[in-house]
Structure 1
Amino acid sequence: MRKTAAKLLAAVAIATSVATVATGTAVADPSTLPTLPLAQDIVGVGSDTTQAVLNQFSTDYNAFLGAGSTLPRLYSWDATGSATIQTKVGATTPFNRPNGSGAGIASLTSVSKTTVDFARSSRGPKNSVPGGAPGDPLSDLFVAFAKDAVSYATKTTGSNAPINLSKADLVKIYNCDVTTWRGLNPADLTLPTTTIKAYLPQASSGTRSFFLQALGLANAGACVTVNPTVQENQGTDPILNDADAIVPYSVAHYIGQVYNGHGAGTDQAGNLTIRSIDGIAPVAADNTLSLSFSNSVFGRVVYNVVRDTEWAATDTQGTALRAIFGSNGWVCKNATAIADIKSYGFRTLPVGACGSTTRATS
């Protein structure tokens, strides 16, 4: 049995010539519940943006291993749900459910691999600011797996917002340099004089962090509403069903929800439509993430974050981390995983970029 397990792990690691296993249905929180994942299993928390595709990865990777495998399996806890969670057997019990990239990354510092093995992140590593906020721990590795982008969303019909805004317009809105739609262009009398209701997701959101960074803003202006009820990429929130509302939105998540059938419950676009920036449509004619938009300043790489010591370890969990997320691992090489990335609206990364690692530099 041990020889068989070793051979299977090697197959996962190279993963370029494996057969694709039929997939099941993606789950919300680990499919083992109420029984917890095992202590050796690879368990993640964090980003709302990538939780759906990681749930699908969990279903498909575990099917790839097969029912009889003794190797570590892959599980992912959603960003929202019960206030506290116990992630696996022997984990710290209970601890607050991490909601967002920042909270997921923080969990890697506050707990050990007995509780969390990786954090989903829709932003890259954050460097410390001299005399300001600290950055991400230098011991965290950000492992790339797909490409996304962020645009803004407004009501599909009846919105007072233009269907195209420039980056400069968005800077003015989120820096509170203008507070009405007419203020964007006073000479355009077709623009209403109503007050813009600019929203951002909660502070730990990677989408919030990336969007402000793309605009060149360290923080949003005082006129912007940071409402804890606005879960990122969920257009079903009633406060967003407003003619003057505007909110950043993951393009990939939107595509997965609207075009590929991956929206359910509150995790849907609702009455929102994603809009163009600088005349570039975020969604291409074939309902995929636009290449030109993903190559703009609003394009971003999404990651799974791990502790560098565990990524390099030769124990069972370290070997499994690389076999799942590494450049020759299942996520980057397996045909089912690649299909999952596309189905959930993301673009695949070039050979060598998927599975590459980076970290904060200061």
Structure 2
Amino acid sequence: MKVSKRFALAVVGLSAAGTLFGAGVATADPSAPPANAYERPLQGVGSDTTDLLMNGLAEAVVGDHDGNPATPDQKLIASWDAKSALGFKSRAVGCDYTGNPTPDSAYVVGTRPNGSGNGQKALRDAFTPATAVENCLDFSRSSSNPSAGNLGGVEVQAVQLATDSLGFAVNRATSIPRQLSRQNLYDIYHCTFGGFTGATPARKALIPQAGSGTRSSWLGMVGLTEADLAVTGALPCVSDQVDGSARGGGSPLQEHDLRFLKTNQIAPVSVAQWISQMGGSAPSDQRGPSMLGSIIQTNGIVAHPMELSASFGPAETITQGAASKLTRTVYNAVPTKRGDAAHTAVNNPLATLVFVDTDPGAANTSLICQRADVIKKFGFAPISTCGTGSIINPQ
């Protein structure tokens, strides 16, 4: 059967793609101005997938931060990287977070949180009375829908931001097929595909560190849960370690860091992150020897991940049932009720102005949603529902 192909930067278009690849803009932790990053009124942490995007938006979005029209507008958002050896300070008094340079999956109060889940836990602690970091944060980044299990008694709105595609990466010298169907991916991560079988498989199917939004999204896409991974001896081909060893070891794979991807390994990756690293929008290039694979759809079309369109890896039927599409919505979690006994409503008009579209029937009122140019530059697809979202963990 002849397989037809298509290749396009469908979301950003070719002219915008030139903006992406020629941008040369590397983003990291917030810096001056203002002189102190804690002077930015909206402080956030969390997802590794969206930290580059939110860092870019933090530099682009300015506004009235103090309600005084006589003072100059300033940058409103401080978005702190998921991973750094450096600590940071999110308020003028207290709120000193220590660094976290390794892909450590454990959440520790007062340590820079790495990943969507840990970012949600940090946001929980910032809105829960009597914690060491109470009132230290205003939002968290999340590459998957926030989980009530991370939020304690805090209610949040999961505010949609953009669309990302999740693809797979292999080493350029690999013998693993570079074009795979959804059925193939399912079989690989269930250890039934050639080379991934047996008690000591020759090939390894990698997943990122625990607490990662990408890990959560990818497991759902290949029909697995954390409970499946917790079964002793189950799925020996699936590893969350850089070297492909048993899950839960001391060398967890940081999401989107493919510098050490071996020829016998396959790993999920945010296509937006991969593009940002290729185009210079990331402070460092962690693609290493990796290349993006393509999806063979049931209609015979080969979908290339750099299409970054809603049609990439569409929902399809496989032997085991329905397979969800390979695109996902990314979010910012914005608290709406505190974790105190009364579940006091959070009143933060500035957070609403920046993140929330308060009039979806008209022009988008969210300041970050208005910056589709920045969203495209970091490899994400703008969406019409940006700024809207549902309540998570209602109180």
TM-score normalized by the length of structure 2: 0.69
CA contact (8 A) 2:308 2:381 kept: yes
**In the alignment, is residue 320 of structure 1 matched against residue 350 of structure 2?**
yes
Q: Distance in 2 between matches of 1:202 and 1:148?
A: 19
Deviation at 1:99, TM superposition (A): 0.3
Alignment of 1:99-248 (within 5 A): 99-112=114-127, 114-126=135-147, 134=149, 136-137=151-152, 139-156=155-172, 158-178=173-193, 180=195, 195-219=202-226, 220=229, 221-227=235-241, 228-236=251-259, 238=260, 240=261, 242-248=262-268
Residues 1:149 and 1:102: Cα distance change in structure 2 (over 3 Å): same
Structure 1: gaps of 5 or more residues: 1-22, 128-133, 185-192
**In the alignment, is residue 281 of structure 1 matched against residue 313 of structure 2?**
no
Aligned AA for 1:53?
A: L
Correspondence for 2:335: 307
**In the alignment, is residue 77 of structure 1 matched against residue 84 of structure 2?**
no
Deviation at 1:204, TM superposition (A): 1.0
1:9-28 deviations in whole A, cap 9, x for unaligned?
xxxxxxxxxxxxxx995531
Deviation at 1:38, TM superposition (A): 3.5
Correspondence for 1:250: 270
1:151-190 deviations in whole A, cap 9, x for unaligned?
110012x111101222222222223334616x69xxxxxx
Q: Distance in 1 between matches of 2:221 and 2:335?
A: 27
Residues 1:34 and 1:73: Cα distance change in structure 2 (over 3 Å): closer
138-147 or 169-178: which moved more? 169-178
Aligned AA for 1:326?
A: V
1:189-241 deviations in whole A, cap 9, x for unaligned?
xxxx97112211110110010000112211343432212442211222x2x1x
Deviation at 1:281, TM superposition (A): 2.4
Residues 1:222 and 1:110: Cα distance change in structure 2 (over 3 Å): farther
Higher helix share: 1
Structure 2: gaps of 5 or more residues: 1-22, 98-109, 128-133, 230-234, 242-250, 316-324, 339-343, 358-364
1:64-120 deviations in whole A, cap 9, x for unaligned?
989953667211100100264432322433311100000001111122363111111
Aligned pair count reads 308
**In the alignment, is residue 359 of structure 1 matched against residue 373 of structure 2?**
no
Alignment of 1:36-75 (within 5 A): 36-38=36-38, 41-62=41-62, 68-69=71-72, 73-75=76-78
Cα root mean square deviation, aligned: 3.2
SS at 2:305 equivalent: coil
TM-score normalized by the length of structure 1: 0.75
Q: Distance in 2 between matches of 1:78 and 1:67?
A: 32
Aligned AA for 1:144?
A: Q
